[in-house]
């Protein structure tokens, strides 16, 4: 058999968004193949013989798990990426786009990093393993393009959020965890605890936007250089918490716990290439994306018999 488009990491946040936009593609996840293992990776590519690949698969975590498992994240992600790219080249894949991360960039408090800064300095120490693995993914892409003339590229979105995000209170990314905490606080009638001071600055992209950009990039990209996807210049966690609580309908007290980790204080990147690659693209406003994400979370949690959240939250702002 053969497939026009193979998507690795098909059950993750971005993979799930792509399924809705492109149901005809073939999606593989960790239940289908452990991409850390070369024989299994080669077998699935030889069986599916994809023409194009969107490589999304990665081992990811939040600020706490990234810092605690730096070495594991480095090894696992380098194995996944090396196997997928090498096998794609050997199997004659004509087009491949991989996902990088803002964690790969050297960050500065006084200015935003751009594509030219990807391989300068070092990533933030708390994301060092994951960030360096993403840098090697970009480097591998460039070397394959140069040596084998394959049309492989990368794209570097800021932190994504949306339906099917990781809402785990400890291991999830910031928006997913905040939504979960705010919903629980509303249910309990208690306070919302937020890790860190609230001063940290982060950037977010609605996952469906990134999915649409990836499908467009399959047709338009021509070169190995990465393109940053950053809808805006960022938001403080304090302002993000306000937007999340408004989306949830939580009006109780909010406590910022400075004894908990918050990661690097300023995390901002910008693109010098995006406008030329995707002219006129319109991003989903943050509050609109948050409303859709909260709606999905409440609905899905309400379907779990042990956690009838939606039945117990009347008046959640959608």
Cα 97 from Cα 143, distance rounded (Å): 14
Of 27, 130, 161, 206, the catalytic one is 130
Say if CB 155 and CB 147 are below 8 A apart.
no
For the record, the structure tokens of 28 come out as: 């593989």
Cα 76 from Cα 251, distance rounded (Å): 41
Q: Is 130 a catalytic residue?
A: yes
Residue 251: phi and psi, rounded to 5, are -125, 20
| Nearest residue to 99 via CA among 3, 21, 211, 204 | 211
Cα 191 from Cα 12, distance rounded (Å): 31
Q: How far lies 243's CA from each of 118, 180, 184, 240, in Å?
A: 31, 14, 16, 5
Say if CB 28 and CB 8 are below 8 A apart.
yes
List the beta bridge partners of residue 6.
26, 53
Q: Which residue has the tokens 């693995």?
A: 133
Where does the chain show beta strands of DSSP type E?
5-8, 26-28, 52-55, 95-99, 152-157, 159-161, 192-195, 201-202, 204-206, 227-229, 235-236, 254-257
Say if CB 179 and CB 167 are below 8 A apart.
yes
List the beta bridge partners of residue 97.
54, 153
Number of H helices, E strands in the chain: 11, 12
Catalytic residues: 130
């Amino acid at each position: 058999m053969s497939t026009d488009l193979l998507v690795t990491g098909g059950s993750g946040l971005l993979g799930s968004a792509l399924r809705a936009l492109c149901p005809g593609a073939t999606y593989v996840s960790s239940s289908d193949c452990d991409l850390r293992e070369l024989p299994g990776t080669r077998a699935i590519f030889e069986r599916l013989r994809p023409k194009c690949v969107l490589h999304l698969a990665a081992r990811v975590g939040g600020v706490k798990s990234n810092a605690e498992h730096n070495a594991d994240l480095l090894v696992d992600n380098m194995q996944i990426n090396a196997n997928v790219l090498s096998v794609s080249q050997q199997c004659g894949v004509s087009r491949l786009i991989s996902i990088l991360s803002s964690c790969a960039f050297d960050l500065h408090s006084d200015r935003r990093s751009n594509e030219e800064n990807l391989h300068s300095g070092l990533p933030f120490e708390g994301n060092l393993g994951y960030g360096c693995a993403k840098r090697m993914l970009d480097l591998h892409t460039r070397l394959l393009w140069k040596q084998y003339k394959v049309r492989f590229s990368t794209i570097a979105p800021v932190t994504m959020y949306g339906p099917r995000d990781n809402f785990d209170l400890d291991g999830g990314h910031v928006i997913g965890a905040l939504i979960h905490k705010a919903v629980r606080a509303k249910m309990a009638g208690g306070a919302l605890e937020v890790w860190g001071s609230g001063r940290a600055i982060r950037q977010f992209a609605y996952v469906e936007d990134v999915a649409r950009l990836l499908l467009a990039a399959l047709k338009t990209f021509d070169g190995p250089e990465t393109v940053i996807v950053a809808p805006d210049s960022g938001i403080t966690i304090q302002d993000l918490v306000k937007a999340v609580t408004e989306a949830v309908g939580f009006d109780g007290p909010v406590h910022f716990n400075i004894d908990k980790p918050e990661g690097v204080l300023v995390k901002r990147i910008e693109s010098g290439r995006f406008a030329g690659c995707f002219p006129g693209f319109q991003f989903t406003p943050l509050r609109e994306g948050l409303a859709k994400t909260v709606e999905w979370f409440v609905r899905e949690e309400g379907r779990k018999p042990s956690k009838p959240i939606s039945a117990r939250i009347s008046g959640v702002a959608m």
